[in-house]
Amino acid sequence: MKNFKSITIIVALLMVSISSAQEKSIDLFSVPLSNPNNPGKLIIDQISGSIHVEAYEGNEVVIKASFGSEKNHYRDNVNKNGMKRISNTSLAISAEEKDNVVQVINEQWNKVTNLEVKVPKNFSLKLSTVNNGNISVKGVNGEMEISNVNGEITLKGVSGSASTDTVNGDIKIDFENITKDANMAFSSLNGDVAITFPSSLKADIKAKSDMGDIFTDFDMQVSSNKPEVNKNTSSGAYKVKIEQWVNGKINGGGPEMLFKTFNGDILIKSK
């Protein structure tokens, strides 16, 4: 049999005229996979806008988009020398596929771009956005690495493992199944962290909320915090401190599950 080299598929930049008042999503493109019967991975890293990913029965990555108003803080003046400024309605979004890894490249730094993506069920995700949007995932089974700055992260009916963090927003995750022996972390600065696991969860829990409370309906064995002692041998200084982390075991313990927020509650739920 012949050996085939991996193929890279580039979807060309799109130049689309879009009405600023348009709210409906438009079809951008579908990206075929090199090995449609194998798991894949989706990578999206954008500046402004929401990302919604949902599993479906197909074997391609299907991408749609809707657009918000233009954000440009450097052009406050509508008129210049008697001329009116016309909003730039061009759209520059591309995608690259190689060995079942699909990367969506959004070069719209001054537009709010909301992406709607359909992927096969067995797909890993690496998603991030900064402003003007939330990130949501539904029905996907895979390894998920999700980061936001000013928005929520919501995962519904997912399986596999997840590492999620946001600065201003809640994190809400509903796991159908989890990967055995996979460590996970869930972190927000200003927001609640609410994670629902199967009742069969086996985990070592490490949780901390500076300004909120920690709740669980699991029968968790909580460990007492032992003082941490640091002694400077050169100066003879002796320092003792107790960390504010709550440590415990669920169903005898297992991989580490880290939950952290500064201003919010932590809820570890059983289904």
Q: What is the pLDDT of residues 49-102, one digit of tens each?
A: 999 999 999 999 999 998 765 444 444 555 666 676 555 555 688 999 999 999
Average pLDDT over residues 106-118: 87
Radius of gyration for the chain, computed over Cα atoms and rounded to the nearest angstrom? 23
What's residue 15's pLDDT?
A: 45
User: Tokens 């939330």 identify what position?
Assistant: 134
Distance of CA 271 to the CA centre of its chain: 22
Could you tell me which residues are beta bridge partners of residue 160? 142, 178
Q: Which regions of 34-88 does DSSP assign to beta strands (E)?
A: 40-45, 51-56, 60-70, 79-80, 83-84
Average pLDDT over residues 1-5: 43
Residue 222: pLDDT over 80: yes
**Nearest by Cα to 27 from 72, 83, 56, 65:** 65
Q: pTM of whole model > 0.85?
A: no
**Nearest by Cα to 149 from 242, 17, 48:** 48
Could you tell me which residues are beta bridge partners of residue 107? none
Q: What is the pLDDT of residues 13-51, one digit of tens each?
A: 454 444 443 456 788 899 999 999 999 999 999 999 999
Average pLDDT over residues 235-244: 71
Average pLDDT over residues 232-246: 73
Residue 228: pLDDT over 70: no
User: Tokens 């980061």 identify what position?
Assistant: 147
